Each structure stands twice: as structure tokens, then as C-alpha cells.
A = this chain, B = another copy of it.
């Protein structure tokens, strides 16, 4: 899979795809299953005592940091196969919330720590996943820093294209499970500016808004030229 082809679903990022069947068994062995039937349910809050990591089986999750007043920065939109639960000094550094009905695996830290300490091969996969997340965070850094809102929105759309659960290559339609405000909090702008950027991209013929939560991509190549790779 070429990293520069955004239409290729990005399975490298899925931790479970990296694991051998035996590793998966040990991994699942320490996990408990959590079901979140609704959208918008909190998994944990910033500052809360961290006792587990979470793995997404189905659904989507956002992790965010809340500043004092209304200021919220969404750090990541997470898809099936992603791992989350970053902490510092035993406390979660983000707030995690479901964006859609979700099925999560809960991995208690003590059991996970024991597992990784006695299985260096499995741990290497966690290290690879961490490296992947670091690259993703750095890419987001560049998107926020170096691009106007129109390009940021283009980069965001192409990010969704990478995932099976938000893109149908046959129809060219991306699903946007999150609200305009969520997108704005992710791209460090406002809901209005996101809408204005979408309007612009539509006028340019690059996309077509089918509904607020479904957008058809008409010119993938021209979108890619706008985005960060």
C-alpha cells in the first residue's frame, strides 16, 4: 500500500492487524468489553485517574483537551483499530467521548504492563502503534500550522477517506459522523469557517454536499493537491 494514495484504506494503523492470532488472544485475554450505545458518551475525563487503555472495535471516538473557557481542541478522531488512553503522572491528559455508538475493549494498565513486560514481540507492535500516532499528531500539527481553512478542511476530508468506516470508494462518499463544531474544534477554527470552506470547495467543483453528514468527493486528485501528505 502506497502511503501517498489516500484512497487506499490505511490498515497499517490498525493495531489488531499487526498482531498474530496468538498475540491477539493474549491481548483479548486481559480485556473487557464495553458497549456505548449512544453518540456523545464520555469514556473518561481529562485529569481522571488512568487505569486502562482502550481499543476501538467498532464506532468512533474523539479525544480532546479543554482549556479554561469554551476553548476546546480536539486532538484526534479515532477509528476502529485505534488505541487511546494517553496519560501522564497517572492521569489522563485528554477527555474521550464517543462520536458514534461504539464497542470498546478496555485494557487494564496493570495487566497490560505485565503482558508487555513478558512479551517483547507484542510490545514492539505497541511501539509501532505509538510511532504511528506520533506521525499522525505531527501531520495534524502541520495542517494546523501551515494551511488556510480551505486546505485544512481538504486535509480533513482526505483523512476520512483513509478509513473504511467513513468512506465508500465506489460512490466516493465520505461520512461525517461529527458536527461542524467538532470539525472546527479539530481544525482549530470555527463552525462558520468550516461551512464557508465547504461552500468554497463545492463552488470550485471539488466536492458535493449531499447532506450535512455526507459529502461526495468529485475531484480527489485536486483535493490531494490542497492537502498535506
Contacts and interface: CB of A to CB of B under 8 A. Distances in A.
A170 to B, nearest CB: 27
Interface residues of A, number: 37
Contacts of A200: none
A127 B138 contact: no
A117 B118 CA distance: 11
Contact of A137 (B120, B124, B127, B141): B141
A49 B146 CA distance: 26
B141 A73 contact: yes
Given A3-B89, A142-B73, A127 B116 contact: yes
Nearest to A128: B130
What's the number of copies of this chain in the assembled complex? 2
Question: Which secondary structure dominates where chain A touches chain B?
Answer: helix
Nearest to A87: B131
7 contacts: A3-B89, A73-B145, A75-B141, A123-B124, A123-B127, A137-B137, A144-B144
Interface of A: 3, 65, 67, 71, 73, 75, 86, 88-89, 93-94, 113, 116-121, 123-124, 126-127, 130-131, 133-135, 137-138, 140-142, 144-146, 188, 228
A146 B188 contact: yes
A145 B146 contact: no
Contact of A127 (B88, B126, B145): B126
B144 A86 contact: no
Which 4 A-B pairs give the minimum distances between C-beta atoms? A145-B188, A130-B130, A120-B120, A137-B137
Contact of A138 (B120, B130, B137): B137
Nearest to A115: B120
